């Protein structure tokens, strides 16, 4: 009889607990979803990621040590970097970022390894044919881009992720995609970092057909802080060059050379160095040739400093400028 009562009590307790759990489950799930939406709790791990985890990672995940496990795995992933084992490294960072998705550092490091290091490795790999080099380089660039974009879903306010994605696609030593670079830098237009803020303008100035957009962005920055931005040589030149665009509507602000530069000498130095940006990086030329020829005549520039006679091979610094001018005077 006593055994029967014990069994009955256990059945009752089990039914009560099951019923209570069933009743509480939707509320707890909703509560957890709310925490995940507010980024207080980690998101659920995809079944595909579960299959890629080792026993140690699984134990750490169930033990609530996801951030700790991500840190340990990121150290271990460095071995794959040293061995150029990029696919294993990619697998590691898929797990690492799933374990700690709100830490932008892991997304940035993983994307850097794939989009920068692995892509460069493929480009320089002499054991590949040129076609294979390009194929693998583009594959890793896209993998890096995908990691940046996925990381930004979890960390949309991460300026580092936006900037490095834009830097990857605007790098002239890789495979520039300036449209994607501009897309990334546009998110940083109001950054507190002035270097980040200007990159959208500098990218637009390299995209054919976006010259008017570049002018509008230049004017926005000019009105924001004229004195501050005019400290940057490329910005000074762009203020002049973009304002020369014949496609601009009538009545817009078109800065003159004397409004931008305190001296003709400084104007020539900056414009001379912009020649390299036009030739190498594809910056908008505007009325560059006319401005330079006017200054060449006015300042009596020697052939050694005339980009139309002597092709510039490096930036022109004030010390070199003075030295070449003295040579011209001696001649």
With beta carbons less than 8 A apart as the criterion, state whether 327 and 302 touch: yes
Predicted confidence at residue 72, as pLDDT, reads 79
Enumerate the domain spans of the chain.
50-188, 195-331
pLDDT by residue (tens digit) across 103-116? 999 999 999 999 99
Percentage of residues of the chain with pLDDT beyond 70 = 79
pLDDT by residue (tens digit) across 120-172? 999 999 999 999 999 999 999 999 999 999 999 999 999 999 999 999 999 98
Q: What's the rounded mean pLDDT across residues 79-87?
A: 92
Predicted confidence at residue 26, as pLDDT, reads 52
Predicted confidence at residue 227, as pLDDT, reads 87
Lowest mean pLDDT among 23-27, 85-89, 239-243, 244-248: 23-27
Spatial neighbors of 33 by CB under 8 A, at least 6 apart, are: none
The rounded mean pLDDT for the chain is 84
Predicted confidence at residue 108, as pLDDT, reads 96
Predicted confidence at residue 329, as pLDDT, reads 62
Q: What CATH number does the domain located at 50-188 have? A: 1.25.40
Q: How confident is the model at residue 19 (pLDDT cuts 50, 70, 90)?
A: low
Task: Classify residue 67 as exposed, middle or buried by CB count within 10 Å of its CB (0-12, 13-18, 19+).
Answer: middle
Backbone φ, ψ for residue 142 (5° rounding): -65, -35
Report pTM: 0.79
pLDDT by residue (tens digit) across 213-243? 999 999 999 998 888 899 999 999 999 999 9
Predicted confidence at residue 50, as pLDDT, reads 42
With beta carbons less than 8 A apart as the criterion, state whether 225 and 248 touch: no
């Amino acid at each position: 009889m006593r055994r029967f009562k014990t069994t009955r009590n256990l059945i009752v307790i089990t039914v009560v607990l099951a019923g209570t759990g069933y009743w509480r489950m939707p509320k707890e799930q909703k509560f957890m979803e709310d925490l995940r939406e507010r980024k207080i709790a980690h998101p659920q791990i995809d079944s595909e990621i579960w299959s890629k985890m080792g026993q140690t990672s699984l134990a750490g995940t169930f033990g609530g040590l996801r951030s700790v496990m991500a840190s340990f795995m990121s150290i271990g992933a460095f071995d794959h970097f040293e061995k150029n084992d990029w696919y294993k490294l990619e697998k590691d960072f898929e797990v690492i970022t799933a374990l700690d998705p709100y830490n932008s550092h892991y997304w940035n490091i993983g994307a850097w390894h794939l989009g920068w290091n692995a892509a460069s490795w493929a480009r320089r790999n002499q054991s590949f044919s040129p076609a294979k080099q390009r194929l693998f380089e583009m594959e890793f660039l896209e993998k890096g881009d995908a990691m940046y974009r996925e990381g930004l879903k979890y960390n949309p306010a991460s300026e580092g992720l936006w900037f490095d994605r834009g830097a990857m696609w605007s790098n002239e030593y890789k495979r520039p995609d300036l449209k994607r670079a501009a897309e990334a830098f546009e998110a940083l237009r109001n950054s507190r970092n002035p270097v980040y803020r200007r990159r959208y303008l500098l990218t637009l100035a390299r995209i054919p057909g976006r010259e008017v957009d570049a002018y509008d962005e230049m004017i926005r920055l000019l009105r924001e802080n004229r004195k501050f931005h005019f400290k940057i040589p490329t910005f000074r030149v762009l203020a002049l060059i973009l304002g020369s665009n014949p496609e601009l509507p009538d009545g817009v602000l078109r800065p003159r050379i004397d409004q931008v530069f305190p001296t003709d000498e400084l104007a020539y130095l900056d414009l001379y160095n912009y020649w390299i940006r036009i030739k190498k990086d594809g910056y908008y030329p505007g009325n560059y040739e006319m401005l330079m020829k006017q200054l060449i005549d006015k300042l009596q520039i020697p052939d050694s400093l005339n980009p139309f006679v002597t092709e510039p091979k490096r930036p022109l610094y004030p010390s070199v400028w003075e030295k070449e001018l003295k040579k011209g005077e001696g001649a």
